[in-house]
Amino acid sequence: MKYKVGFIGCGNMASAIIGGLKAHAGIDASEIIAADASEAAREKAKETLSICTTASNTEVSTQAAADGPCAFFIQPAAAVTAKALAPGRQHALCKAAGSIV
């Protein structure tokens, strides 16, 4: 399945944006996929937002629609690897406040 929007990271910041997309942008939960290294974060996002979740950043990058955005929500110490980025795609990198990427 191809999703309209993909998120790498589904913590507090991503969850707030996903909630806004669902409430105000007409995007259905079934059109959103998110990855997170934390099983607890994935389960929370799946239960509270009803979105598809995965542990694989690459899955998000390849399963989100080719013309749709893929957003990364990272903690200050996290590293984003180039192999998770699908070539020819738009990507947005969102960092935690006060961090340097």
56-60 CB contacts, 8 Å cutoff, 24+ apart:
57/8, 57/81, 57/84, 58/83, 58/84, 59/33, 59/35, 60/6, 60/7, 60/8, 60/33, 60/34, 60/35, 60/84
**Measured between alpha carbons, how far is 92 from 80 in angstroms, rounded to an integer?**
12
Tell me, yes or no, if the pTM score tops 0.75.
no
pLDDT for 93 equals: 54
Compute the average pLDDT of residues 5-24. 88
Burial label, 60 (beta-carbon count in 10 A; 0-12, 13-18, 19+): buried
Instruction: List, for residues 34-71, the tens digit of each pLDDT value.
Output: 999 999 999 999 999 999 999 998 888 888 766 666 66
State the DSSP code for 87.
T
- Any idea which residue has 């974060």 for tokens? 41
Tokens standing for residue 66: 């080719």
